[in-house]
Amino acid sequence: DAKTTQPPSMDCAEGRAANLPCNHSTISGNEYVYWYRQIHSQGPQYIIHGLKNNETNEMASLIITEDRKSSTLILPHATLRDTAVYYCIVRGSQGGSEKLVFGKGTKLTVNP
């Protein structure tokens, strides 16, 4: 089972910031938080990942709470092309399974 909880759907206006929450209350010390998105009929696209510090790249920012039990993916200026299913995944970095366990994700719809 997935170790994360996400809202099933969210809406955002084009040009506004999209803030996608994720709860991972059972995360352990060596587990990273990964975000992927999937546009219909394509494979999942890697967005960003982090351990405990906030991270930013050209696609998004990842804010992880100090207790690491939740995180937020921020798309600063959402466009129509950001409409997709967004997956938050927790995975360890040392030993254990290499697999990514996907939940149902959040369906983000960006409206014009």
User: Is residue 23 within the footprint of other proteins (CB under 8 A)?
Assistant: no
- Smallest gap from Cβ 27 to other proteins, in A, equals 14
Other CB atoms within 10 Å distance of the CB of residue 84: 21
Task: Give the C-alpha separation, 99 to 75, whole Å.
Answer: 26
Which is closer to other proteins, CB of 9 or CB of 45?
Answer: 45
User: Is residue 53 within the footprint of other proteins (CB under 8 A)?
Assistant: no
Q: Which one among 45, 54, 79, 111 touches other proteins, defined by CB under 8 A? A: 45
User: Is residue 13 within the footprint of other proteins (CB under 8 A)?
Assistant: no
Tokens 């995360």 sit at which residue? 27
3-state secondary structure of 91: strand
User: Is residue 8 within the footprint of other proteins (CB under 8 A)?
Assistant: no
- How far is residue 51 from each of residues 5, 22, 65, 71, 111, measured CA to CA in Å? 18, 14, 10, 10, 32
Instruction: Decide: residue 52, CB within 10 A, 0-12 exposed, 13-18 middle, 19+ buried.
Output: middle
- Smallest gap from Cβ 105 to other proteins, in A, equals 6
Q: Which one among 71, 83, 87, 108 touches other proteins, defined by CB under 8 A? A: 87
Contacting residues toward other proteins, per CB under 8 A: 2, 32, 34, 36, 41-46, 49, 51, 87, 91, 93-94, 97-105
